[in-house]
Structures are given as structure tokens and as C-alpha cells.
A and B are shown apart, each in its own frame.
Chain A
């Protein structure tokens, strides 16, 4: 049986990457171009082929209407709560969007939901991993910002499904980072993870104890990251250009994309240089140049990075700890490369933060560690267990539009709560329930997760039914609800449809869609599977040569097998998966009698009363026929 590869994926706002535990160490799986990071950019070329990653970046400038970046900002969100995003990011929302529908983004003349766009990135990572292993990859652990709500988590899980991945677990990014850091140390103590990425900020405080990573408190802002710093710089450039050149480029997608590229380069340069120049060639050939010093940069970004302190202080308060009680601080995310950010963290926690692991890779490495734990563990991960929390309180709306909190934030997950409901009028058959997430007192200020009706309550007089609702947040931080009318014992499972989510049918449709439009994907996958199958049968044949049964074959049979074997080896070198399957089948035919002979000898051995040890048992039936027949799916 081929090894089941479970990969760890960091699906980031700016960059995404996959990692895997190899010989006790998590390693990043490189992309096609040999680069570890896959920029989270998706473009459609003229032939409507999807282009992902580095190759897609040039489309951001050449054909901005066919490319999209930072899609993570839109995951699990409704059209009405992204107005801020739309001012700052060139997202082109579909024109025919209806109220309550999941957002769709235009790429050329087609539209995609955020989970579908994320799925393109995931599929690229999956392909990279399959190339790396030479075997199919179907299972993954995907990381999400700790402060992601239920809808954002569900959207990420949907993206995984659309990409053909069974998402075994969603892991919070700062927690994943702590796993990567804690792997070699296994120490005890309290650590804080400060995770300042491209689009999100998270802080988590954990207690480490003999391999148990227990999150005590987490907090964050899912709309605070390096993007916000870039936008400040872009705004200055646009104002400059308006002043100096008398041009308003704010509506030119191409110019904004060029400016964005230049400010990101300047931002990176300023982490090591005292000052830098940035220069942009605008459409039409005009040039915009500007010198910026680190001091100016730091003054400019101060309000943005100061915002990270609020969640830090809240997390400390929730954990009941003073900054000095934190033993170690770990830096995660590209934005922690900014010296001013490091200074801020050092000031707050009064100690030098750790940044030994690459802040762009550490989350994916941690996801690989968690993937290893889920696959049954290894020497390196023995005794490691992650106990995470829910970042936001879960509540239900009660009379007067007030939120009644039933599971408080920072509760260890899985967590559950039970509520009882009854009816207001005689014979009432339905009860409407509104589930919310957030810390605010009023329902309208919290995030609406779902509204649903409890249906089919047996007719009884008002107040008689006793309906028990059980809310359960699973280890992914996703809510499940079940209901039961206790007097009749009638159980009604409720599917909680997130207020801003895709239905199961929609996701299924997208999975099919993605196959329609990804014929190449399918071929590649088939090819990998066929080659893996060929390897298995060739290995079995090598083993069979050592068995006594081999000596009973005629020379004609041996040469037929050799020919069929050569054909399999030859077809493996080519890209036609159907041909590989045909040659495997031919080899199966050629070795039919060999398999029978081996079976016979196994039986004979058993009849002779000789004890068969495990190895002998293994030898017999591992004739080539033990492999299941190839399945053709098209």
C-alpha cells in the first residue's frame, strides 16, 4: 500500500506554501520553479487557462482585469462587509451578484467565488507536492488565522474540497508556528506568538508542558497586515503623482499595480537600508521617483503597527498574565521583518523575540508537524498534542436583540454548550434560532453565523415542548448544531448554513466544474497514479523472482514476462497514463501463471505443516496479482 502523504499547507494572503515531515524534520515542498513560496496570485490567460503564483504576477500589471491577489481577505465574507476592502484593493465584483449570495470575482469574462480562487492556489500546491513525491496527494492540514470566524474557516475548508483535498484539520497559524518552534525543544513554559502577516494579525499565548501545546488565549485582527502598510505608501504615491504630474492614476489598474510592486520593494529594502528610492514607470512612459527614509517610513506606519498592541494586551489580560510572565516570544509572518515591528514586540514583552525560523515558512512547517501527528505520529512528534481554543464567543440572539453567550472565547476546543427552548403559542411547529459569533452585547454588532428553523415540533400546548439544542465547536473551530425534542425524543439534525457560505451542493458543483476546466490537472493526477501503480507491480515482480515458483516457469513464459516488464518500464517514461494502464494489464496477464504457482507453493507449505512466518506469508500473495485492477475513470 502506498504511503499516505498528508501535507501541511499555509494558505496565506500574500504567499502560500506546502510542507511535509521527512525523517523527523519538516521541510518545505518546492514549486515548479524551485521556489518555496507560491505567491497567492491567480490569473486567467487569454485562453482562460489558470496561471498561479510567480507566473501570474506579471498579469497583475499587464492585464489586471484578469488577475487577483489577497483573495484571503474575502474568504467567508458578504458583499456588505467588504466595502473597505473594495476601496483599497482592485477586486472586481461580479455585476449580477444578488443579495445573500457568496461574492464572485471577475477574472476576464468569468467569475469565481473566493473559495474557488483559493482552490486554484491549493491545487497548485497539491501538484507541487505530487511532483515532489511522485505519488498522489489527497489529504492536507491547512492553516487559518487564529482569529478567523466560523464562516472564514468553512470557506477555507470548502476551498480544500474544491481542490480535491480532504482537509483533515484546520490549524491556527500562530499555533502551527509554535509547533515548528517547539519540535526540538519540548520545554515547558509560556510562549507568545506574534504573527503579523500579509493581511492578518494574530497573537496567541500558549502553555507548553511535556509536549502538550495548550493555547490559553488568542486574539487578533483579520484585516491588519502588510497590505495595510503597502496601501499607505500607495496612497502617498498617488497623491504625489496627482500633485507633481497632474494625473489621477487611482483608477488605472495597471498604474496602481506598478506602484504597488514598487512600494513593496521599497518596504523590503527599508528593513535593511536607512533609505531607498522607488521609481515607477507609469503607463504612457512618465516616471515617478521618490526617496523615502526609514524614519519617514516608520512614522508613516506607526499607526498601523500600533494597532497590533490592542490584541496583544487583550490576549495577555485573558490569559491572566503580565508581559514579564511570558518566557519566550516567537515572531511569525513577513511583516515581522520590519525592524520597527521587532522593536515594538521587544518593548511590549521586555525580551528579545525568536526569529530563527524563516517567518514566511514557519507556519507551513508547523502545519507539516500537525499533519504528521494526525497521520499517527513519528519519533519526532511523539507525545505532541495541540489543544487550541475558539477565538470568538459563540452566542444566540434572545429577546430584545441581545446576544446570549453560550461558549466563551478562549474555550479549549472541542467545546460544547446545551440550550433549551420551548414554544410561545399552542401547536407551534417551528422555532427560529439565530447563531452569532463575537464579543459585543447586541446581536446586530456580532457576526451572524446562521439562522435556522427548528421544524416539525410535535403539536403541544405552548411552553410544553422542551427542545434541547447542542452546539459543538469541533477541533477545526467550526460549529455543529444538533437538536432534539426531549418530550417526544425526536431528533432533528440541523445543517447550519453559514450566513455567508456555500451550500454543500454548490461546493459539489464546483468540484465537478474544476474537473471540467482542469483536464490537465486530471491527466497529471492520473499519470502520477499510473506511475505509482507501475512501480508497485515492478517491485512485486522483483520480489517474485526470488521465490521458488520462478524456477517452475518455462523459458517462454520468462521471456514473455521480461517483454511485458520492459513495456511497463518504457510506458512509465511517457506521459500517457492510459498506455501505462494497458502495459500494466499486459504484465498482469503475463504473470498470471506465476501468481498461481506462488499461491500453490504457499498452500503446499501450509499443508506440510511447516509454520509460516510472516515473511513467507508476505511473499506468497504479493505476486503481481495482489494489486487491484487498474480503474479507468474516463
Chain B
């Protein structure tokens, strides 16, 4: 099997401690051997490392997609359909890892959550203990309402309740519907604004990583955590509004 060497990510792939290929012994083996092309046993690395990327949050989606396609061509089980059971198993492991990594890194929110997770920081929503406590008591998981949204949320919930009642009774209140629609678009703009804000924090975070400044990283982490919690809150509100308006 020959490998075409291009100026792609393939040539820079692999973690710094490159191991030898199990098949040909070449020293350039990572997910697959760059010399003989064979899939290698999976190694526990984080998603950034898997893609041969530094831990940075500003990622060019087109580049990431290209790398995903290239790695897919090398690791996918289709390529190993007739190989030994061991290679088939590695290929299955490696390509599931690749797909999981791509799914996480290509999505700005998931990527941010993942980076926080690597630092041991958990979002409210993902906190298992909170979820289980809520389920045990039969109630909804409590969410901390961002203070600046408190008033708005209160009003919106009242309106949604009214809208639900109207629906039940078969009544129509065009003015109310209009108000809720206005709120819907307000929330959407807020969400968009948060995305822009997030990109700014990424920049800080990346710089902090570059400078290996623990204090700056911690500061950016706190900002991201706060932003994601707010965003999740808005997303859930929007979901309720959308459900009601679409129904």
C-alpha cells in the first residue's frame, strides 16, 4: 500500500510521542502508520490531540472538515472490511473515536463544553447529581435564572401560560400572540449575541493557553461557564416558546 504524501494534515498528525507501527515498525505511527498505512491500536488522547490540533477553541470549520474526511478515509471500517479481526476492531474503535471527536469539535457550544470538561468544570445542566435529585423529587431540575433575565422570564412565563389556556379554550388573542412572537425574536437575538460574545472569550482563552497563564485560563473558563449557563437557559426558554407557537 502506498501513501500519497501531500501538504495535508496527515503529515503533521500524531502526538509528539510517536510510537512505532505494529506492522512495519516505522516510527511515524499514530492512528495509522504514515509509512505502511495500517491502522494502529487506539490510544487514550483528548479530541484535540486526536485531530492533531493544539488545545485551542478558535477552529477553522473547513479545515476541521477536511481533516475529518481525510482521517475517515484512513480509519473507517469499510477500509478494513477484509482485514484481520484485530485490525477491524481497531478501525471500529478509532473511527468511532474520530466521529465522536468531530461531532464535539465542530459544534461551537459542544467544543466549549468539552474544553471546560477537560479542565474538570461541569455545566449546571450536565450536573448528574442535580439531575438525579430533581428526578428523585419528581420535579424539574432547578435552573438558576440569570438575574438580568429574571423579570423578563417571569413575564414570558405568564404569557405562555395564558397562551396555553387560550389554546385549551379555543380562544384567540392576536395581541398576546404578537407579544410572544416579539419575545421569541428578542430571545433569538440574545442567543446570537451570546455566540458573538463567546468567540471573543475564545480568543482570550486561546491566548491564555498560548501563554500558559493559569490565571488567565481560569478567568476565561469562568466567563465561558457563565455564558454557557445563560445560553442553555435561553435555549430552553426558546424551546418552550417554539413548541407552543408551532403546535
- Write the nearest CB–CB distance from B240 to chain A, whole angstroms: 14
Question: Does B132 contact A399, Cβ atoms closer than 8 Å?
Answer: yes
Interface 9-residue window, one of A190-198, A230-238, A406-414:
A406-414
Q: Which of B77, B97, B102, B138 has the largest count of A CB atoms less than 10 A from its CB?
A: B77
Contact present for B92 and A475 (CB under 8 Å): yes
Q: List 26 A-B contacts (CB under 8 A).
A: A169-B81, A210-B69, A212-B69, A212-B73, A373-B78, A374-B78, A374-B81, A374-B82, A385-B72, A385-B73, A385-B76, A385-B78, A385-B79, A398-B135, A399-B135, A402-B135, A412-B103, A413-B96, A414-B92, A414-B95, A414-B99, A415-B96, A416-B97, A475-B78, A475-B92, A475-B95
What does the 1/0 interface line of A401-438 toward B look like (CB < 8 Å)? 01000000001111111000000000000000000000
Contacts A375-B81, A402-B135, A414-B99 given; 7 further ones with Cβ under 8 A? Answer: A373-B78, A375-B82, A398-B132, A412-B103, A414-B92, A415-B100, A473-B96
Contact with A along B139-170 (1 / 0, CB 8 A): 00000000000000000000000000000000
Distance, CA A387 to CA B138, complexed state (A)? 40
Q: For B72, what are the chain A residues with a Cβ–Cβ distance below 8 Å?
A: 212, 385, 387
Interface: B136 (CB within 8 A): yes
Contact A414 B135 (CB under 8 A): no
Is B78's CB under 8 angstroms from A412's CB? no
B2 to chain A, nearest CB (A): 13
Contact of B102 among A212, A373, A400, A412 (CB under 8 A): A412
Interface status of A386 (Cβ within 8 A of chain B): yes
* B92 and A387 contact, CB distance less than 8 A: no
Beyond A168-B81, A413-B99, A414-B96, whether A209 also contacts B136 by CB under 8 A is no
Chain B, range 88-122, C-beta contacts under 8 Å to A:
92-93, 95-97, 99-100, 102-103
Give the A interface residue count (CB, 8 A).
29
Q: Would you give the shortest CB distance from B204 to chain A, in whole angstroms?
A: 28
A416 to B104, CA, bound (A): 12
Q: How many A-B residue pairs have CB under 8 A?
A: 65
Q: Mark A356-384, 1 if CB is under 8 A from B, else 0.
A: 00000000000000100111100000010
Does B100 lie within 8 Å of A416, measured CB to CB? Answer: yes
Contact between chains at B78 and A386 (CB < 8 Å): yes
A475 touches B76 (CB 8 A): yes
Quote the shortest CB–CB distance from B244 to chain A (angstroms). 17
Contact of B92 among A375, A383, A385, A472 (CB under 8 A): A472
* Cα distance A101–B204 in the bound complex, in angstroms: 60
CB neighbours (8 Å) of A383 from chain B are: 73
Assembled-state Cα–Cα distance A158/B157 (Å): 52
Please state if B103 and A411 are interface contacts (CB–CB under 8 Å): yes
A474 at the interface (CB under 8 A from B): yes
B92, B97, B136, most chain A CB atoms within 10 A: B92
Q: Residues of B contacting A375 with CB < 8 Å?
A: 81-82
In angstroms, how far is the closest chain B Cβ from the Cβ of A603? Answer: 32
Q: Could you tell me the distance between the alpha carbons of A210 and B93 in the complex, rounded to whole angstroms?
A: 25
Q: With a CB–CB cut-off of 8 A, which chain B residues contact A398?
A: 132, 135
CB distance from B223 to the nearest CB of A (A): 27
Chain B residues in 8 Å Cβ range of A475? 76-78, 92, 95
What residues of chain B lie closer than 8 Å to A414, measured between beta carbons?
77, 92, 95-96, 99
Check B99–A415 contact: CB distance below 8 A: yes
Give the dominant DSSP class at B's interface. helix
Least CB separation from A373: chain B residue: B78
Q: Which residues of A contact B69 (CB under 8 A)?
A: 209-210, 212
For the complex, what is the distance from the CA of A472 to the CA of B100, rounded to whole Å?
A: 11
Residues of A within 8 A of B82 (CB): 374-376
Interface residues of A in 150-183 (CB under 8 A from B): 168-169
| Residue in A210, A387, A473 whose beta carbon sits within 8 Å of that of B76 in the complex | A387
Within 8 A of A (CB), among B53-95: 69, 72-73, 76-79, 81-82, 92-93, 95
Give A467 Cβ to nearest chain B Cβ, in Å. Answer: 14
**Alpha-carbon gap, A376 to B97, bound state (A):** 23
A169 and B81 alpha carbons, distance in the complex (Å) = 9
Chain B nearest CB: distance from A477 CB in Å? 12
Considering the chains assembled together, what is the distance between the CA atoms of A375 and B79 in angstroms? 9
Contacts of A385 in B (CB 8 A): 72-73, 76, 78-79
Q: Which residues of B contact A376 (CB under 8 A)?
A: 82
Q: How far is the CA of A281 from the CA of B102 in the complex (A)?
A: 61
Chain A nearest Cβ from B71, distance in angstroms: 11
Bound CA–CA A376/B79 (angstroms): 7
Among B79, B95, B102, the one with the most A-chain Cβ atoms within 10 Å of its Cβ is B95
Instruction: Looking at the assembled complex, report how far the CB atom of B224 sits from the nearest CB atom of chain A, in whole angstroms.
Output: 22
- Least Cβ distance of B104 to chain A in Å? 11
Measured CB to CB, the closest approach of chain B to A29, in angstroms, equals 21
Q: Which of A50-81 contact B (CB under 8 A)?
A: none
| Separation of A416 and B99 alpha carbons in the complex (Å) | 9
Are B96 and A416 in contact (CB-based, < 8 A)?
yes
Q: How far is the CA of A399 from the CA of B72 in the complex (A)?
A: 38
5 closest cross-chain pairs (CB), A and B: A414-B96, A374-B81, A412-B99, A416-B96, A400-B135
Bound Cα distance A370, B132 (Å)? 45
Residues of the A chain whose Cβ atoms lie less than 8 Å from the Cβ of B95? 414, 475
Q: Which residues of A contact B76 (CB under 8 A)?
A: 385, 387, 475
B136 surroundings in chain A (CB, below 8 A): 399-400
Within 8 A of B (CB), among A13-60: none
User: Which residues does chain A contribute within 8 Å of B138, judged by CB atoms?
Assistant: 400
- Give A99 Cβ to nearest chain B Cβ, in Å: 30
Nearest CB in chain B to that of A472: its residue: B96
B75 to chain A, nearest CB (A): 10
Min C-beta distance of B41 to chain A, whole Å: 16
The residues of A that contact B78 with a CB separation of less than 8 Å are 169, 370, 373-374, 385-386, 475
- The distance in angstroms between the C-alpha atoms of A473 and B93, with both chains bound, is 10
CB distance from B40 to the nearest CB of A (A): 16
**Which residues between 430 and 486 of chain A lie within 8 Å of chain B, taking CB atoms?**
472-475
A212 surroundings in chain B (CB, below 8 A): 69, 72-73
Residue of B nearest to A4 (CB): B82
Provide the bound-state CA to CA distance between A64 and B79, in Å: 46
Residues of B within 8 A of A411 (CB): 99, 103
Please give the distance in Å from B87's CB to the nearest CB on chain A.
Answer: 14
Enumerate B15-68 residues with CB–CB distance to A below 8 Å: none
Residues of B within 8 A of A416 (CB): 96-97, 100
Residue of A at shortest CB range from B99? A412
Contacts of A412 in B (CB 8 A): 99, 102-103
> Which chain B positions have C-beta within 8 A of A373?
78
A209 to B97 Cα, complex, angstroms: 22
Q: Measured between alpha carbons, how far is A276 from B135 in the docked complex, in Å?
A: 60
A416 CA to B102 CA, complexed, in Å: 12
CA distance A370 to B82 in the complex (A): 13
Q: How far is the CA of A29 from the CA of B89 in the complex (A)?
A: 33
Within the assembled complex, what's the spacing in Å between the Cα atoms of A520 and B132?
60
Cα distance, A417 to B103, chains bound together (Å): 12
CA gap between A474 and B77 in the complex, in Å: 9
- Within the assembled complex, what's the spacing in Å between the Cα atoms of A400 and B92? 34
Q: How far is the CA of A168 from the CA of B72 in the complex (A)?
A: 19
A410 and chain B: residue at smallest CB distance? B103
B70 to chain A: closest residue by CB: A212
Give the CA-CA distance A212 to B99 in the complex, in Å. 14
A109 to chain B, nearest CB (A): 42
Q: Complex Cα distance A370/B79, Å?
A: 11
Inter-chain contacts of A400 with B (CB < 8 A): 135-136, 138
Shortest Cβ gap from B159 to chain A (Å): 25
A210 to chain B, nearest CB (A): 7
Q: Which residues of A contact B77 (CB under 8 A)?
A: 414, 474-475
A366–chain B nearest beta-carbon distance, Å: 14
Please name all residues of chain A whose beta carbon is closer than 8 Å to the beta carbon of B132 when the two chains form the complex. Answer: 398-399
